[in-house]
Structure 1
Amino acid sequence: MLYHELFKSMESVRWNMSHDIPWDDFDGSKLTDEQAYTIKMNAITEWSALPATEMFLRDNKDDSDFSAFMSVWFFEEQKHSLVLIEYLRRFRPELMPTEEELHNVRFEFDPAPPMETLMLHFCGEIRLNHWYRRAAEWHTEPVIQAIYKIIAQDEARHAGAYLRYMKRALTQKNQDVGHQARIAFSKIGVLMASANRTAQALHPTNLHVNKALFPNDTVQSKLPSPDWLENWLDTQILFDKEWEQKVCTRILHNMSLLMGTEFSSAQELNRYRKELIKNAPMQTTESGILLA
């Protein structure tokens, strides 16, 4: 089991909201209304770890190890929301999310293949790490800068934990299961490493997850300002092509290590995916998003 080891490692570096956040360094002259509002939106977005956890537990009923790890992931992700809300409570109480606004992002996600979901969230943690690092640079108020740096580090650790479970999936005694996992990981890897070719930000909170609610079935669509994310990325934190390339490079690097094959581009990974499908057992198929 991985849960015991992951719990111990994350417990050893867990930060304390009272002692590790430099609350006394707050400088109100360096916090703009525009910046404060983005903190509210991120606080609500982070709250969506709740429905994501419900999804993970539902779709991984046969995996008690991974389900137990969700207790760690859920705690730390909700803590991200909590620290952002606490920041607003102290310094911009009028912008604190209401309980209704928080509850609005809790809705059911359609069932999805567990391995594809695992890979999607692995990539999502890498992307969040880079988004929050860039947010820390964009903000000018020192306390929120420190908060974004801290939660960015958490997201990197979460990506590492997901990667451990991905490695475990590839070493199953049943080789067909491992082969299917390779197809699932490479499929989502192609999608998430091709974000510079898409109009939308490719993160789990910005993808459609409930056909019955379409098109209002993304976490971002449930926020008070559904279009805030694109503006935050494009005109505020300026998450440009250079930063996007850092995300793609990191995904491809990890896929190279995971698969034991060097990938320098999404196109190379896609060719690898097609070879996997070509050599797959007859019962192995792809589901979900179709790739050319």
Structure 2
Amino acid sequence: MLYPELFKSLEQVRWNMDKDIPWDKFDASLLSDEQAQTIRMNAITEWSALPATEMFLRDNRGDSDFSAFMSVWFFEEQKHSLVLIEYLRRFKPEFAPTEAELHNVRFEFDPAPPLETLMMHFCGEIRLNHWYRCASDWHTEPVIKQIYKIISQDEARHGGAYLRYMKKALTEVGDTARAAFAKIGVLMASARRTEKPLHPTNLHVNQALFPNDTVQSRLPDPEWLEHWLDTQIRFDSEWEKKVVDRILHNMSLLFERTFETVQELNRYRKEIVTRMAPPAHPAAA
């Protein structure tokens, strides 16, 4: 069981909103309305940890260990939304999200295979870590720079916790887990080939609500994410390469095999799928 150890390790590095955020360092001259709007959108996006947790608990009903870990993950993710809201409340209250805007991103996700979902969120944590580090570099106001740095470190730790559960799954279900993780790994490391940023909040999750069934589509400005990444914080190909390299590095650790490219990971995926295929019937052969 991983939950007790993960709870202890995350508890030891947990930050305090009153003591660890340098609120007194705020410089109003370094915060524009444009920047405040991006903070608002990220605050609402982070609120979607609520429906994600409901999904995790529903789809992992048979895994009490992972479900217990959700208590830690959910608390820390909601805290990300809270600290961004608190920043706006203090310094740009007119940009603070309304309760209705927050509630709008709470909607039901369709059931999905737990292993694939676990891997998708693992990659999502890696991507968020890099997005927030890039955002911290873009901002010049010292308090929000520190906030993004702190929550980016949380996302990295969450990715590490997910990786622990992925290793546990390899021990328990073997190639079934390998195939699921490799499939999603190939998808999430191929973001540069897609029109939209590949992150769980930008993927369709409720067929009945399509096309308004992504978290991003339910924001006050559904187009903000691409603009934030491409035009504002400028999450360019160099940053994207860092994300891909980190995914491949962790897949190499997980599968105990070196992957330098997405193509190598995809070949490994095909090997696993072939290995899992039932043997051909002699008569058919």
Asked if TM exceeds 0.5, the reply is yes
Distance 2:222 2:60 in 1: 30
- Are positions 1:253 and 2:249 aligned together? yes
Q: Which residue number in structure 2 is paired with residue 197 of structure 1? A: 193
Q: Deviations over 1:63-82 (max 9, x none)?
A: 00000000000000000000
- Are positions 1:165 and 2:145 aligned together? no
TM-score, structure 2 length as denominator?
A: 0.97
Instruction: Give the CA deviation at 1:37.
Output: 0.3
Gaps of 5+ in 2: 280-285
Q: What does 1:95-110 align with in structure 2 at a 5 Å threshold?
A: 95-110=95-110
| Count of residue pairs brought into register by the alignment | 279
Q: What does 1:33-48 align with in structure 2 at a 5 Å threshold?
A: 33-48=33-48
Q: Deviations over 1:138-181 (max 9, x none)?
A: 00100000000000000000000000000000011xxxx21110
The percent of aligned pairs where both chains have the same amino acid is: 78
Distance 1:96 1:167 in 2: 40
Q: Which residue number in structure 2 is paired with residue 229 of structure 1? A: 225
Q: What does 1:211-290 align with in structure 2 at a 5 Å threshold?
A: 211-282=207-278
Distance 1:119 1:282 in 2: 25
Q: Which residue number in structure 1 is paired with residue 119 of structure 2? A: 119
Q: Deviations over 1:47-70 (max 9, x none)?
A: 000000000000000000000000
Q: Which residue number in structure 2 is paired with residue 89 of structure 1? A: 89
Q: Which residue number in structure 2 is paired with residue 25 of structure 1? A: 25
Q: Which residue number in structure 2 is paired with residue 144 of structure 1? A: 144
Q: Deviations over 1:181-204 (max 9, x none)?
A: 000000000001111111110000
Distance 1:68 1:152 in 2: 23
4+ runs deviating over 6 angstroms: none
TM-score, structure 1 length as denominator?
A: 0.95
Please state whether the residue corresponding to 2:211 is helix, strand or coil.
coil
Q: Deviations over 1:106-132 (max 9, x none)?
A: 000000000000000000000000000
Q: Which amino acid aligns with 1:229?
A: L
Instruction: Give the CA deviation at 1:281.
Output: 4.8
RMSD: 0.9
2:174 to 153, 174, 178: 178
Instruction: Give the CA deviation at 1:282.
Output: 3.5
Distance 2:196 2:244 in 1: 15
Distance 1:188 1:47 in 2: 24
